[in-house]
Amino acid sequence: MRTYDLTPLYRSAIGFDRLAQLAEHAAANNGNSGYPPYNIELLGENRYRITMAVAGFSMEELEISSEGEKLLVKGNKAESQTERKYLYQGIAERGFERTFQLADYVTVLGASLENGLLNIDLVREIPEALKPRKIEITTSRLLDSQS
């Protein structure tokens, strides 16, 4: 696998160092298996939903935590009390750990488990100070008289 040196991006893009770090993390994160499968939906302008297929896991076996800009979903399958003999086993019963990198100001609203699907609802709440605002244009005489 190729590795890319993003150092020039750090030198020429002021304030975009986090973007470069995300790109480096995505390039280095090649050990992620496809288990469990998931979808990410856009529900509205600032609302999202992650849906994960977690068939066979109960609510007690799932754990969701959010720290900073990372969302971590873990599944720890409890040990079965009865010994089973499978002729074919297509449903995975292994534990998993899936990490999602959240954008700035994205928070988790809640989670629900229904029909083997874990739904995690997210919202992006941009602070008022960072929202676009209109700047009034005045004459220079008006500014001079106010100083």
| Domains assigned to the chain | 1-31 (no CATH), 34-126 (2.60.40.790)
Q: Are 26 and 19 in contact (CB under 8 A)?
A: no
Q: Does residue 123 have a pLDDT over 90?
A: yes
State in Å, rounded, how far the first CA of the chain is from the last one. Answer: 61
Distance from C-alpha of 70 to C-alpha of 126, rounded to nearest angstrom: 17
Query: How many Å separate Cα 84 from the centre of its chain?
Result: 36
| pLDDT, mean over the chain | 81
Confidence of residue 61 (pLDDT cuts 50, 70, 90): very high
State residue 112's pLDDT score.
Answer: 96
Segment 65-99, tens digit of pLDDT: 999 889 999 999 877 777 888 898 887 778 999 99
